[in-house]
Structure 1
Amino acid sequence: MVARIAAPLRRYLDTEAGSAGLLLLATLAALAWANSPWPDSYDRFWHTELSITLDTHTLNLDLKHWVNDGLMVFFFLVVGLEVKRELAMGELTDRRRAAVPLAAALFGLVAPAVLFLAINPSGEAASAWGVVISTDTAFLLGVLALVGSHVPTGLRLFLLTLAVADDIGALTIIALFYTEDLDLVALALAALGIAAMLFLRYLHVWRGPAYFVLAIGVWIAMYESGVHPTLAGVVIAMFTPAYPARREQVEEAERLTRAFRQSPNPEYARAARLSIERSVSLNERMTRLYHPWTSYVIVPIFALANAGVRLDGDTISDASTSPVTIGIVVGLVLGKLLGIWAGAYAAVRCRLGEFAPGITGLGLAAGAALSGIGFTISLFIVDLALDDPQLADEARIGVLAASVLATVLGWGLFRVAQARQGDMPGRPLKLDPPVDPARDHIRGPLDAPLTLVEYGDFECPFCSTATGSVHELQDRLGDRLRYVFRHLPLDVHPHAPLAAEASEAAAAQGKFWEMYDRLYERQDQLTERDLIVHAYELGLDVERFARELVESRYAPVVRDHVISAEASGVGGTPTFFVNGVRHVGPFDAETLAARLLETAPAA
């Protein structure tokens, strides 16, 4: 089921989950180094100064700040790119779909900060309230990967959307509350550098070196301005275009590639390569380039530089009674759980949105508990908020302790949820969500007393056979039957996802069932060109149809059907639900008709 998630999102998830183990190893290595027989070497190494001098201008930072202020720019660049992608073409484009995780993220930012400030109302410690606001996406996805298939796809997507919204809040808070005195001249120079990058884009300059030089200039200007220089990565990401592949650009790339194949020469090779690159948004290309580096190199180095806390008896004793440590643990472990859980349910109660299929109260609580793993950005804000070394060490201990407790609590709640599900005989049997005429494709009277729901795949030969059964059922039962079709394109059928989106594009023009019948009649004609021919012969607006296919306009609709299939216990295609209950056994017309009449509502 997870394989049906959009490819860029799937790559993002895989990289984050894979990096969690390396991040954990780097953290343990930092702790081991700081508590070894040579603890002073840890501080000496990371406080080694490294200077860059240009004429009379010198930039002098120790290694730790080169990591925190320099390398972490790439981390915040990748975070910003993912935020921009989700806002432009991901989960956050559908405001109703995103309303519940957005509300949960907002409550999950406020509740931990309130609890922390209740314990640390004043003094330097109060400035560390930002430590408890953020979730570490890598650790969160790493734990979800260990929990495995027991986490519903709907909950995974909910938590990822929550993490993206959480990142937006954290970045905003860093910019607004952890910025030193501003140098307006330097800030203006940074803005000028951003404007120059936009001008290069306007001139269709796509090569990286020019942008890299300008990005270094923007970073230096932001460092001198008093704004934390890592925010340069966020600003650059927000101005990086994110869009689905455009049909005309794909066709241009195809034309130039064909020209190169017919007449190989350097000029055609360069033109074809550049056109292929331009057909994919710069956002996705930069994410693909930098995300592995940040996840597998930069963030582990950051953990190695920041997680080294001496855990001797005195330090642990002081931390156990420190309001800073207690406030961080309470904020991350309890505040995140209560805030996210309350925010999600408040959004649903206020009818701002609804839970995806498969999300239960206990599963939501487990995911909310795991969101209390606030490692990377939490340690980052410790360095910004606290100048007192003792307070900073107590805060780091609080972050480490809270991350462990949140992991154990979330893991435990998932196991309880799994045990409860294990008491049920096999997979879920009831259709989730129920049939909704406003959302489902229905053939037959909307108020018919008998309901047959099929999860199908346009490339599945068994579904084609089942379609014959459905037609026979409709002839036999007439207006007493309403038939509902939901998508479940399987990985073994490469053309099925696009065919499903094509049927939804036809539905947008009022011809879902005409396209449905045609696709099953011609299962050997499901390529993009074939689908466009089908649209033409059905009298659709072909230009609109093709554009929506290229833009994957209806991929979220298909994904919702896949999520509902998982929540309903569907294991393959075709799968039928007879009057809301999953049918097990033969699906010939005689068997289905008997089952429909046996389970008919009393009315």
Structure 2
Amino acid sequence: MANAKPDWLTGFTDRLRSESGSALLLLGVAIFALIWANSPWAESYVHLWELPASIEIGSFGLDLTLHEWVNDGLMVLFFFLIGLEVRQEFAVGSLRDRRRALVPLIAGLVGVVVPALIYLAIAGREAASGWGVVVGTDTAFLLGALALLGPAMSNQLRVFLLTLTVVDDFLAVAIIGTVYTEDLQIVPLIIAIACLVVLALLGRARVWRTGPYVLVVAVLWLATIRSGVHPSLAGMAAGLLVPAPATERSHVETARDRFRDFWQSPQAAGARSVRRGLAQSISINERLHDALRGPVSLLVVPIFALANAGVDLRGGGLGDSIGSAVTWGVVAGLVVGKFVGISLGTFAAIRLGLGRLPEGVGRGSVLGGAALSGIGFTMSLLIIGLGLDGRAADEATIGVLIALVLATGLGALIFRLARERWGETTADLPTVLDPPVNTELDHIHGSNSAPYTVVEYLDFECPFCARATGMWRDLKDHFGDDIRYVVRHLPLEDVHPHSFRAAIAAEAAARQGKFWQMHDILFANQLRLEAENLREYAADIGLDLERFDADIADEELADWVRLNQESAHRSGARGTPTFFLNGVRHRGPHDARTLTASLENCEPDPAGRRRS
């Protein structure tokens, strides 16, 4: 244990990796850059970023300043990460349901147009090319500020704002790559397009190794640098082309089997096989996202802030900026434009019947999130470097920093009003089990007086429910008679067409006292749940088939399954498996080790025996 980290260091690093921690780090670095640029050592700040840093391989070479390496090199990782996130949202996230995504998409679009118009109305004569400064939102800052200032539970609002910033980021990058691109070079551009085609083919061929993707993205970046197109566009396009399929149970089982082989015979070849199995079980998109998220938020973006936030305010620079139309065009565009545009787009889309707010999210929370979206920072500073220069660039940078403070303050004020006057204490789905466990109606494994209760909403076609993964057995082995296990139905009929009928079959078996036997056999045969299969399983566990057939057709059982679905909805369960630990919805990983730790942190629930 000599190499174990001290508790304080572990706590500090965990805090730093959180959304609020990374936002505070970014703010601290920006303040440090401002202090440095206005200190007696200001000249060293300027000279540092003007240092040449070249790479030459034969006749090929890149001759960039350190500032250019940050903005055109490191920041490509930032935009690549955005592209990965957008692809995930389309594949398995909030953008998969087009109707659910329509309101934030419209809000994001209006939240780009209105700020640009406000900026042009105020600063157009002095620096019309800077209109792109106000179109983007800094996602990292936004989420960090939301974690610090928003409702204690705001996951639904977070998803809404993330969907909204997808539009911001995509349009901002498109603007960077088109409006601020000069001197196109055709041959490198053709090579860049060919790289994008290769990335698409790698995804279509289901190539799971990281190496080919990294190599093609590196060539794409070099070609884009040479082409004259800003690399941010290539970074996002590359991320969008990295596939993000959902995890398949068969791949997880293969990884498990390979680990068992290694456990029995720990050799280097076995270890390689385990690593291959683990890699194949998770999409290349998710693996790249997981590998890049920490370095980008803790290293890349802070270095970018250090290189771009240092504005020399000496010699009357601050006074000039305060009186500048460019400064106030940026401030008004970000603070007022984002707030008005996003709010107007959201409520107009709802009024037109195009969608509705996410469950648990009130209008006050939307207004607070719209205010925080005025934090432009990363996107804004990057576009300043591309579209403005000299005094106008410094004035716009001051505007971005002022907007950061004002937008944060406005968001904090609105969230406070939402809590105190409108009663919006959360912006999330419910977390309390509704109704509580009923010993007369629910299916229960274990003693009614057990101090720990696990309730699972399950789907018999779900490959990751407790019976399918064996997780429940591990919990039972750990807690023994101190735990009881309760199951309720949540058939996801849109993705699992046989799940509702399988739930009815389990309830029909329950009428003959064999719910758990049917439960186990259904999970053991998840790929064979047709009507004839269900009857076969009924025979295998010794049910009266004539009675089983009659019960399957009984609408009362279908109504009971629907009541379970309604209970899941009231309790905040939207997918399977969803677990409730002593009556509170569990969020995060649901492996046995995590659930065990969560249960041990719960207050024992001796009242469980009285829930009837």
Tell me the TM-score normalised to structure 2 length. Answer: 0.72
- How far does residue 38 in structure 1 lie from its aligned partner after superposition? 2.0
Deviation digits for residues 571-594 of structure 1, max 9, x if unmatched? Answer: 97399xxxxxxxxxx9999x99xx
User: Which residue, 306, 318, 324 being the options, matches 1:316?
Assistant: 318
Structure 1 letter corresponding to 2:92: M
Deviation digits for residues 1-24 of structure 1, max 9, x if unmatched? Answer: xxxxxxxxxx9x964433111111
Structure 1 letter corresponding to 2:417: V
Which runs of 5 or more structure 1 residues have no equivalent in the other structure? Answer: 1-10, 434-452, 457-461, 470-484, 543-555, 576-585, 593-603
SS of 1:503 mapped into structure 2:
coil
- How far does residue 150 in structure 1 lie from its aligned partner after superposition? 4.1
SS of 1:504 mapped into structure 2:
coil
Q: Distance in 2 between matches of 1:317 and 1:519?
A: 78
The match for 1:465 is 439
Does residue 73 of the first structure (1) align with residue 50 of the second (2)? no
The match for 1:25 is 28
Deviation digits for residues 106-136 of structure 1, max 9, x if unmatched? Answer: 111111011111123346x111111101111
1:22 to 1:371, Cα distance in 2 relative to 1, 3 A: same
User: Which residue, 489, 499, 503 being the options, matches 2:491?
Assistant: 503
Q: Distance in 2 between matches of 1:560 and 1:176?
A: 45
Conservation of the 8 A alpha-carbon contact between 2:182 and 2:229: yes
- How far does residue 402 in structure 1 lie from its aligned partner after superposition? 0.5
Conservation of the 8 A alpha-carbon contact between 1:253 and 1:279: yes
The match for 1:405 is 406
Conservation of the 8 A alpha-carbon contact between 2:107 and 2:345: yes
Structure 2 letter corresponding to 1:531: F
SS of 1:114 mapped into structure 2:
helix
Q: Distance in 2 between matches of 1:29 and 1:133?
A: 26
CA RMSD of aligned residues (A): 4.2
Q: Distance in 2 between matches of 1:46 and 1:365?
A: 39
SS of 2:437 mapped into structure 1:
helix
Q: Distance in 2 between matches of 1:201 and 1:93?
A: 19
The match for 1:185 is 187
User: Which residue, 143, 146, 165 being the options, matches 1:144?
Assistant: 146
User: Which residue, 286, 291, 294 being the options, matches 1:292?
Assistant: 294
1:109 to 1:246, Cα distance in 2 relative to 1, 3 A: same
Conservation of the 8 A alpha-carbon contact between 1:358 and 1:564: no
- How far does residue 519 in structure 1 lie from its aligned partner after superposition? 9.4
The match for 2:562 is none
Conservation of the 8 A alpha-carbon contact between 1:501 and 1:558: no
1:454 to 1:345, Cα distance in 2 relative to 1, 3 A: same
Conservation of the 8 A alpha-carbon contact between 1:150 and 1:418: no
Structure 1 letter corresponding to 2:523: L
Deviation digits for residues 137-192 of structure 1, max 9, x if unmatched? Answer: 11111111112544543222211221223222222222232222321111111223
The match for 1:383 is 385
The match for 2:396 is 395
The match for 1:339 is 341
Conservation of the 8 A alpha-carbon contact between 1:219 and 1:230: no
The match for 2:542 is none
Report 1:566-581 matches (<5 A): 573=583
Report 1:107-122 matches (<5 A): 107-122=110-125
Q: Distance in 1 between matches of 2:208 and 2:442?
A: 53
- How far does residue 194 in structure 1 lie from its aligned partner after superposition? 3.6
Report 1:538-557 matches (<5 A): 539=531
1:529 to 1:394, Cα distance in 2 relative to 1, 3 A: farther
Deviation digits for residues 70-92 of structure 1, max 9, x if unmatched? Answer: 11111111111001100111000
1:538 to 1:347, Cα distance in 2 relative to 1, 3 A: same
1:153 to 1:267, Cα distance in 2 relative to 1, 3 A: closer
SS of 2:53 mapped into structure 1:
strand
SS of 2:310 mapped into structure 1:
coil
Structure 2 letter corresponding to 1:294: V
Q: Percent identity?
A: 41
The match for 2:238 is 236
Q: Distance in 1 between matches of 2:270 and 2:567?
A: 38
User: Which residue, 172, 175, 180 being the options, matches 2:174?
Assistant: 172
- How far does residue 392 in structure 1 lie from its aligned partner after superposition? 0.3
The match for 2:65 is 62
Greater shift in the superposed pair: 290-299 or 153-162: 153-162
The match for 2:8 is none
Q: Distance in 2 between matches of 1:239 and 1:498?
A: 42
Q: Distance in 1 between matches of 2:520 and 2:167?
A: 35
Q: Distance in 2 between matches of 1:536 and 1:206?
A: 29
1:43 to 1:173, Cα distance in 2 relative to 1, 3 A: same
Structure 1 letter corresponding to 2:401: L
Conservation of the 8 A alpha-carbon contact between 2:456 and 2:487: no
Q: Distance in 2 between matches of 1:278 and 1:526?
A: 33
Q: Distance in 1 between matches of 2:434 and 2:322?
A: 55
Q: Distance in 2 between matches of 1:349 and 1:244?
A: 34
Report 1:166-565 matches (<5 A): 166-197=168-199, 206-312=208-314, 314-386=316-388, 388-421=389-422, 455=434, 463-465=437-439, 467=441, 503-505=491-493, 509-511=499-501, 512=503, 531-532=523-524, 539=531, 562-563=571-572
1:407 to 1:268, Cα distance in 2 relative to 1, 3 A: same
Q: Distance in 2 between matches of 1:574 and 1:211?
A: 42
- How far does residue 514 in structure 1 lie from its aligned partner after superposition? 5.2
Q: Distance in 1 between matches of 2:518 and 2:123?
A: 62
1:116 to 1:499, Cα distance in 2 relative to 1, 3 A: farther
- How far does residue 257 in structure 1 lie from its aligned partner after superposition? 3.2
Q: Distance in 2 between matches of 1:411 and 1:167?
A: 23
Deviation digits for residues 546-574 of structure 1, max 9, x if unmatched? Answer: xxxxxxxxxx9999655599xxxx99739
Structure 2 letter corresponding to 1:396: T
- How far does residue 463 in structure 1 lie from its aligned partner after superposition? 1.2
The match for 1:446 is none
Which runs of 5 or more structure 2 residues have no equivalent in the other structure? Answer: 1-13, 444-454, 460-465, 476-484, 535-564, 575-579, 586-606
Tell me the TM-score normalised to structure 1 length. Answer: 0.73
Conservation of the 8 A alpha-carbon contact between 1:50 and 1:62: yes
1:245 to 1:379, Cα distance in 2 relative to 1, 3 A: same
Conservation of the 8 A alpha-carbon contact between 2:119 and 2:330: yes
- How far does residue 97 in structure 1 lie from its aligned partner after superposition? 0.8
